[in-house]
Amino acid sequence: MPDVRPAKRQMHLGAFMRPVSIHTAAWRYPGGTPDANFSLQALTKYAQTLERGKFDAFFMADHLAVLNMPMDALKRSATVTSFDPLTLLPALAVMTKHLGLIATASTTFEQPYLIARRFASLDHISGGRAGWNIVTTSNPDAALNFGMDEHMEHDERYARAREFYDVVTGLWDSWADDAFIRDVDSGIYFDPEKLHVLNHNGKYLKVRGPLNIARPVQGWPVIVQAGASDVGRQFAAETAEVVFAGGGPLEDGRKLYADIKGRMDKLGRNREHLKILPGAFVVLGETLSEAQDKRALLDSLASADSGMAALSIALGHDASTYELDAPLPKYMPESNASKSGRERVITMAARENLTVRQLVGRLAGYGGLGMVGTPKMIADQMEEWFTTGGSDGFNVMFPYLPGGLDDFVDTVVPELQRRGIFRTEYTGATLRENLGLPRPENRFFPK
């Protein structure tokens, strides 16, 4: 594959859609779209706006259960239901030409053959724009929807995920790129010598293969991972090509960036073959005061019940019994919750000396990395992260839609382009090419 990277290092931007905004009150914001997560028309418009802004990808989160929170909080959540990502993204594929389409799919509850087939199909339908966000699923209620009484333990979920990744990528390599000769005169459709049967029999999975779809356009869809625990970072260093990192202070971002890239060095992987994109919640205004007022209004629409539920989910146990005007207890029970999410909340509370009440207020809307200000101020922050070892770009989260998205594309993107650190045109036809990632060699049919 030709080198499609521009001479100057370029920032990469994804859009985190869950399925619309991560802020719990976004659906209530004036000018927002309360039913957007079930409006194909609205979601198509968002995707086309992202493409106009030259974003790398539309990144869709997913849940395999109704969120495990009390009903007083759950009834306020716009993420209680949403489209299945691998049903929605093929529809968006036919309405866009360049935008990458990243879907979340679980290695704990899905079957690898089906995952391999669906993502290969999305990659063909989109002309090579698919990406797979590999998750292990932290919500224990999801286990109850898949015939399990208890959730699998955290590290075991990652051990299964590692084997799952090997199986799925092996299935994608079932066919050589030139296996389908389709010779009308001879009547030969494919060359049997260019078909591999996987016959995987491992600790967690048994899959014969081969996959009944041609090798994906990109070889493999782009591999995305979001875990930030130690085992998650190692998994990312071994397998991922994009990491959606939890946002926090720049110093923490630099440490995570150096850690994951350093692990890649030890494994002999080229560190340019993995892009680390922290989540950034961006609120824009013509002045700093206007942007701060927007954030304050948005946060005022969030419910304390949602904040307590978010804290309980992050910690993996009921936090409602904790003393509200005291700090988090020093000792808390272990749980099967996401280790990275749990550590992020505990670290934030300790760093900022927050009481439980203050922490609940922070989590009621969104408690991660927030960038609030004018377009120039936002571009300044993004450029600092990008040029000082904090990131390769960002997974941008919008405060409400469509306004927050429109504002970013119309004001921040041109400012980044003016500085020469973000593309003015797409550089390739596939998501891999736009990210500057190589096309994987077929392990069974090397060239």
**Averaged pLDDT, 250-254:** 94
pLDDT at 70: 67
200-201 and 206-207 beta bridge pairing: antiparallel
Strands 370-373 and 393-397: unpaired
pTM over 0.85? The answer is yes
Mean pLDDT of 151-176: 91
Could you tell me the CA-to-CA distances from 365 to 57, 222, 341 in Å, in that order? Answer: 24, 30, 16
- Whether residue 144 is predicted with pLDDT greater than 90 in this model: the reply is no
Q: Which residue has the higher pLDDT, 80 or 234?
A: 234
Candidate from 288-297, 358-367, 384-393 with smallest mean pLDDT: 358-367
Q: Among residues of the chain, what percentage have pLDDT more than 70? A: 92
Tell me what pLDDT residue 308 has. Answer: 77
Q: Judge whether 313 lies within some domain.
A: no
| Mean pLDDT to the nearest integer, 104-117 | 92
Is the model's pLDDT at 140 over the cut of 90?
Answer: no
What confidence tier does 344 reach under pLDDT thresholds 50, 70, 90?
A: confident
Residue 28 covered by a domain: yes
Instruction: Tell me if 328 is assigned to some domain.
Output: no
- pLDDT attached to residue 7: 57
How many structural domains are present in the chain?
1
| Contact in structure between 386 and 7 (CB atoms under 8 Å) | no
In a domain, 204, yes or no: yes
Is 63 contained in some domain? yes
Chain segment 375-433, per-residue pLDDT in tens: 999 999 999 999 999 999 999 999 999 999 999 999 999 999 999 999 999 999 999 99
Domain membership of residue 378 (yes or no) is: yes
Measure CA of the first residue to CA of the last residue in the chain; give whole Å. Answer: 12
**Looking at residues 29-46, what average pLDDT do you find?**
90
Task: Of 161, 169, 150, give the one whose Cα is nearest residue 203.
Answer: 161
**124-155: buried (b, 16+ CB within 10 Å) or exposed (e) per residue?**
bbbebbbbbbbbbbbbbebbeeeeeeebbebe
Q: What CATH number did the domain enclosing 165 receive?
A: 3.20.20.30
Q: For the CA atoms of the chain, what is the radius of gyration?
A: 22
Contact 129, 434 (CB under 8 A): no
What lies within 8 Å, CB to CB, of 322 at 6+ separation is 328, 329, 356
When pLDDT is averaged across residues 334-339 and rounded to a whole number, the result is 69
- Confidence grade of residue 96 (pLDDT, cut at 50, 70, 90): very high
Q: Tell me the range of 18-22, 339-343, 375-379 where mean pLDDT is highest.
A: 375-379
| Domain containing residue 36 | 12-286+370-435
- Whole-angstrom Cα distance, residue 428 to residue 425? 9
Interatomic CA distance for residues 77 and 11, integer angstroms: 32
Cα 265 off chain centre by: 23
Residue 107 has pLDDT above 80, yes or no: yes
Q: How many other C-beta atoms are found inside a 10 Å radius of the C-beta of residue 190?
A: 16
- Give a yes or no: residue 31 inside a domain: yes
Residue 235's identity, in one-letter code, is F
Comparing CA positions, the residue from 320, 283, 304 lying closest to residue 401 is: 283
48 vs 316 pLDDT, higher one = 48
Task: Output the pLDDT for position 2.
Answer: 41
pLDDT at 6: 47
Q: Which of 202-206, 224-228, 360-364 has the lowest mean pLDDT?
A: 360-364
pLDDT at 130 > cutoff 90: yes
Give me the mean pLDDT over the 231-252 stretch. 91
Instruction: DSSP for 26-86, please give it.
Output: GGGSTT--TTGGG-HHHHHHHHHHHHHTT-SEEEE---SSS-SS-HHHHTT-TTSS---HH
270 assigned to some structural domain: yes
pLDDT value at residue 68: 62
Q: How far is CA 419 from the centre of its chain?
A: 26
